[in-house]
Structure formats: structure tokens, C-alpha cells
Amino acid sequence: MTALLTFDDVTIQYPIYNSRNMSLRNQLIRIGTGGRIETEAGHVQIVTALRGATFEIRQGDAVGLIGHNGAGKSTLLRTMAGVYTPMHGRITRQGRVATMLDLGAGMDPDLSGYENITRMSMLLGLKKAEIAANLADIEAFTELGNFLQLPVRTYSAGMTTRLLFAVATSTKPDILLVDEMFGTGDAEFQHKAKARMENLLQSVGIFVFASHSMETVLQYCNRFFFLEHGTIKEIGREDIKAG
């Protein structure tokens, strides 16, 4: 299948509820007092995390997302993944998606490394036979050895990253979405991750990567999106080099 990801005028807005808005009591008070304190209890801040995003990412594109903290990189990745559904705009998504957004997502810290490999692979939509076939490769890549028999809560951040990265990449996705996460690995992992990534980029249709490290983005990506206050601007390689 040819991977394809298009956004047409996509806007993502979400409410920020504080404990006052989240509580039932305040909703009841609102009804009880006939809306007099509406302005206080009913005040919900709406954040526009993504504004009128329009782009098309085709097979073979490796897109680097850059921008300040809070510019909307993670929201964009989550929208691409289908976690967030936009209120306006259309999204077309073709191909199997794998994500590496939050560290430890989908893992159960009380289960062993092996059990978590199965768990995460199942969540990513793999069948039992496919998981078994991937196991040797995951074992080899993570180099966790006997640690795979221990509960994941005993792992360091770097070890968790290794496992998550190995599993997410083993699913052979068409679309791979990665939030900055290589930072936690040690030098050897960085090196191996790079090799595996390059290998994967041969087979993965679309790769989107959010990072603050310009060096890494320039290395992996061939298109660059600059995000600022929820708006996306496509820039060239030279613009990044120029800063």
C-alpha cells in the first residue's frame, strides 16, 4: 500500500479544564444558581493547538517538525496518528501507523519485558505469529538480555526507550510518527537507532519526526515543517542551516 497522509484545513481546538470545570459540583452550582456565576465556573479556556493545517505527505517523505515548546508539534503528531479528531477540516490517512510519542506508552510496568513486547505489538495490531517472528530481532536490537524477563518498572529510561523503539519499528509500519525520544539513549543506542532508522526508512512509507535537535532533523528528513503558535510553514533545508 502506498502511504499517504493529507491534511486539508485542519484545526484542532481543545478545552483546558481546571479542577473547577472538571468537577460535578460546579456544574450543579451553575444549574442551581441559574448561571449567575457562569463566568467563573463555566469559564473554559480554549486552546487552538493547530490552525488551518493543510499539507500532503507522500510515500518516501521524511518530515521533520521543528518549533518551540508548545508550538503544536505533539498535537500535530497525535492528530496525524488519529488520536485527536479535528473539529474542522479533513484528514486522509493510508497505511498502518506506528507511534513513538510518550515514553512507556502502552506498557504495563508490572509485566516483564517479554510480556510487554506482546502487549504493545497486540496494541499496534499485530497477530501472535507476527509477534513471535519479530521476537529474535527485538531481543537482538534491545540487547536487554535477561532483563527482558524482569518487570519493566525496573528499567531505566534508556532501557525503556530501547524496548519501545524496537517494538514500534518491528511492526513494519507504513507511517511512523516519532516525538523526540532518542535523547534518553546512550551513545551506543543512538548509533544503533540511527542504523535501524536508516534501514527502516527504506521500507517505511512516511516518517514524521519532531525534534529540537536540528542536527538530527537534517540528518533524517527531506522535508521540514516549522510550527509556530499552531500554524505550519514548510521551509527548506537552507532555512534551517541559516537558523
Partner 1 sequence: MSPGLADLCRTARMPGLIFYMAWSDIRARYKRSVLGPLWITLSTAIGVVGMGFIWSALFKIDRTTYIPMLTVGLILWQFMSACINESTTAFTRQANIIRNLNLPLSLYPAQLVLRHVLNLAHNIPLFFIVALILGVHFNAHMLMAAPALLLVVLNLYWMSLLIGTLGARFRDLEYLVSMVMPLIMFMSPVMYRPGALPSFGKYMWFNPLADMIEIVRYPLLGTPTPMFIYAINIGMLAIGGALTFALFNAKRNRIAFWV
**Cβ of residue 138: shortest distance to partner 1, in angstroms?**
18
Is 11 among the residues that bind partner 1 (CB under 8 A)?
no
For the sheet containing 62-66, what is the strand order? 97-100, 175-178, 206-210, 62-66, 223-228, 231-235
- Answer yes or no whether residue 193 interacts with partner 1 by CB under 8 A: no
User: Alpha-carbon distance 143 to 81, whole Å?
Assistant: 29
Contact at 8 Å (CB) between 185 and 193?
A: yes
Q: Which is nearer to partner 1, 121 or 211 (CB)?
A: 121
Contact status: 82 vs partner 1 (CB under 8 A): yes
Q: What angle do CA 159, 163, 165 make, to 5 degrees?
A: 115
Judged by CB under 8 A, does residue 90 bind partner 1?
no
- Contact between 83 and partner 1 per CB under 8 A: yes
Q: Which three cell numbers stand for residue 140?
A: 537482538
Residues 110-129, interacting with partner 1 (CB under 8 A):
110-111, 115, 118-119, 122-124
Compare residues 25 and 191 and give the one whose CB is closer to partner 1: 25
* Residue of 42, 67, 88, 62 lying closest to 178 (CA atoms): 62
Binding site for partner 1 (CB under 8 A): 14-15, 17, 19, 22-25, 27, 78, 81-85, 97, 99, 101-102, 104-106, 108, 110-111, 115, 118-119, 122-124, 151
